[in-house]
Amino acid sequence: PAFAPLAAPRANGGKAWRDIPVWRRPTALAAELFLVAGLATGAYFLTRPTPAIAFNERDWVVVGDLRNLTGDAVLDESLEQAFRISLEQSRYVNVLSDLKVRNTLELMKRKPDTTLDRATASEIAIRDGARAVILPTVAEVGGRVRVGAEVIDPHTQTTVYAESADGVGAESTLVSIDEVTGELREKLGEAIASIERDSTPLPQVSTDNLDALRAYALGEKKRYEGDMQSAVGYFKQAFELDPNFALAQAAIGRIYIGQRKMSEGKAAMQRALAMREHLTPRETLTLEASLARFGPVTPLLNQWQRLIEMYPDQLAARFGYAQDAWMMTNRYGDVVSHAQASAVPQSPYFAMGNYLEGILELGDEDYERAIAAFQVARRKGYLGAGGSYAYVFEAQRQYEQADKTYAAHGGSNLAVALEDIIFA
């Protein structure tokens, strides 16, 4: 009763079927099954753990060589340099310097111009304690120029993250680089507020002229190779192509200072600093410290301290502060920590920092610590000095050991003869 209406079935052929709810019928069940499978698949992809890398604040990265798939040679060195300039603005991510990379390649018995591909860059990262490798790429896709970068785990050489940005024409690449590095910094854990604070557009803090940027990159390459004359030529060319290219002017000043051309170096650095709106905050502070060396000692040391407080892993500043404090104010023990900080595996002063530590410990008359520091410097391969190491034994009246220590250093005949006279 109330269930079978005693009417003829309405199905085709006059056959009856069981009267069940729609959601339980075979067609509906199949559709529901597909829906549940789709939802489960979507939930898996949304909730599965993202590949990650254990990256912490102030960890180090190795930037590999740019893969240029566009065929435009102008982009080779220029975009690689631009990528490094953009990433180095971060206070969260530290970038291993070109000089340190070349030093490590030398220890690996590789040529300085060895391509930093996935395998080589990963080996350098493992040797120098860098947490990640970043491999930048530029390619032409569908008539647009795409700049991309992969974050690589050096231990497995697998890609952890990948970001890209597209633009129209080669001139769009600098904006794309800023976008890509910003995304990578966020993926590595940097706060968005920090990224916004420490990110000035590349065209402003370098140049929007790709030819000028390429000349600058070639100048840097020559500088690391020790060809200072060619390096200055490239830097001058970069500045001629873009008169607002402050980095090129600063690079000229540094080379002149290294060549003891003090007046020319100072003038070049002053011209660069006058264009501070075209410099990153880090570069501005570094230039100010370099120029402070032409003035009184106290402001110089204060400038070094400001730079270190803002950028604790500016290893050149650590080394410079410890060296200037020793040479100009006879301060020793209270700046030892800065020499030690400059001797970390990621530093171009990896071994020199320990030698400087030994000098400071000697000045503080802690001979045991001084000898230990000098020995570490020697084990790391620093053979560029020997006088201070020998002074440790002279100070303790161990003259025979002092002579042996200095003789093991070698050097020019004149230098050895002068040290013999001093010791005598």
Phi, psi of 56 (to 5 degrees): -120, 165
Length of the chain: 424
Can you tell me whether residue 197 is helix, strand or coil?
Answer: helix
CA distance 266 to 245: 17
C-beta neighbour count of 110 within 10 angstroms: 15
Which tokens in the block code for residue 156? Answer: 């497995």
Give the amino acid at 183: E
Average pLDDT, the chain: 89
Q: Could you tell me the pLDDT band of residue 254, with boundaries at 50, 70 and 90?
A: very high
Over the stretch 33-76, which tens digit does the pLDDT of each residue have? Answer: 888 888 888 776 666 545 567 888 999 999 999 999 988 888 88
pLDDT over 60 (residue 355)? yes
Buried-state track 182-204, b at ≥16 Cβ within 10 A, e below 16: bbbbbbbebeeeebeebbbebbe
pLDDT over 70 (residue 4)? no
Alpha-carbon Rg for the chain, nearest whole angstrom, is 31
Cα four-point dihedral sign 187, 191, 196, 198: negative
By the 8 A CB rule, do 176 and 44 touch? Answer: no
Question: How many Cα atoms are found within 13 Å in the side-chain-facing hemisphere of 306?
Answer: 17
Angle between helices 413-423 and 399-409 (to 10 degrees): 170
Q: Which residue has the tokens 């603005």?
A: 89
Over the stretch 154-211, which tens digit does the pLDDT of each residue have? Answer: 999 999 989 999 999 888 999 999 999 999 999 999 988 888 888 899 999 999 999 9
CA distance 172 to 177: 9
C-beta neighbour count of 136 within 10 angstroms: 24
Listed in sequence order, the residues at least 6 apart from 42 whose beta carbon sits closer than 8 Å to its beta carbon are none
Which tokens in the block code for residue 56? Answer: 């912490």
Mean pLDDT for the stretch of residues 84-98: 92
Pairing mode of beta strands 144-153, 132-141: antiparallel
CA distance 301 to 335: 11
By the 8 A CB rule, do 239 and 245 touch? Answer: yes
By the 8 A CB rule, do 138 and 79 touch? Answer: yes
Over the stretch 126-160, which tens digit does the pLDDT of each residue have? Answer: 999 999 999 999 999 888 999 999 999 999 999 99
Closest CA to 55 of 131, 136, 135: 131
